Structure formats: C-alpha cells, structure tokens
A = this chain, B = another copy of it.
Amino acid sequence: MIMSWLDEVKFDADGLVTVIAQDSASARVLMVAWANREALAATAASGAAVYWSRSRKRLWHKGEDSGHHQKVVDIRLDCDGDVVLYAVEQTGGIACHTGRESCFFRRLEGEQWQTIDPVIKDPELMYGATGRK
C-alpha cells in the first residue's frame, strides 16, 4: 500500500485537524478552523482553502458566501502532525466573518481585551442579515 501524505496527518477523534491560515504577504495570522481528510485533499487539489464547518457539519469552501476566498500557496504540517498551516492569499483582505482582516482583532491590554482592528466591510453587506462566513 502506498502511504498518502494524508496518512501522516493525525486527525482527532472527530476526524478533524486544526488549521491555521496565515497571510502569505503580511504574515498575519488570519484565522483558525478545522479540516477533515476530505477538506485537506480538496484544498491540496484545488489550491483554494476548504475547511470542515463544525456548526454546519459539512465542507466549507472559504468564501462561498462572502466571496473572500483563500488561495493556498503553501501547506505545512507541524512536528506532531496534528496542526496544519496554510499560507494564503486572502481575497478582499478580509478573513473574519466580522468583516475584519483577521479573527485576532482583540488584544489584551492590562486586564481587558481591546478591539484594535477596524471593520473593513459591514458583515451584513457580506452575508445579508442571516449568513455567516
């Protein structure tokens, strides 16, 4: 039997692995999501980020609602095999469903989380009043 690169990824009990998306230009960490085997295979084959949506329990092609797709230019695996790192070109410069560049828009300042990044695009314009991501 030929080993696949997917066999070296250690999926958890739910069949998922943590995925970090990092902007290939700015190097900013944009978001963290999950992938199953099928999502990783689809990402590698298509060159566009595909995740597993735990809330919707289905494959989630990043940008399918928002238009903010991610072109994946590099895929890395960590030493334990349980975290994958995508380097991405982020369409629109917006990865977060809040309309911000990155999901990491809150910084600990003293004893409080402060929102320090601007909303680039109103989420209602991205999804209408109901959608998400």
Q: Which residues of A contact B (CB under 8 A)?
A: 4-5, 8, 18, 20, 22, 26-29, 31-32, 44, 74-80, 83, 85, 96-98, 100, 103-108, 111-113
Contact = CB atoms under 8 A, between A and B. Distances in A.
Contact of A76 (B8, B74, B97, B107): B107
4 closest Cβ pairs, A-B complex: A27-B27, A76-B104, A75-B108, A78-B103
A123 to B, nearest CB: 11
A126 to B, nearest CB: 14
Q: How many copies does the complex hold?
A: 2
Contact of A74 (B83, B97, B107): B107
A32 B20 contact: yes
A74 B108 CA distance: 7
26 contacts: A4-B111, A5-B112, A5-B113, A8-B113, A18-B18, A18-B32, A20-B32, A22-B29, A29-B29, A29-B85, A32-B78, A32-B83, A44-B108, A74-B107, A74-B108, A76-B106, A76-B107, A77-B108, A78-B103, A78-B104, A78-B106, A79-B98, A79-B100, A79-B105, A80-B103, A85-B104
Contacts of A79: 96-98, 100, 103, 105
Contacts of A112: 5
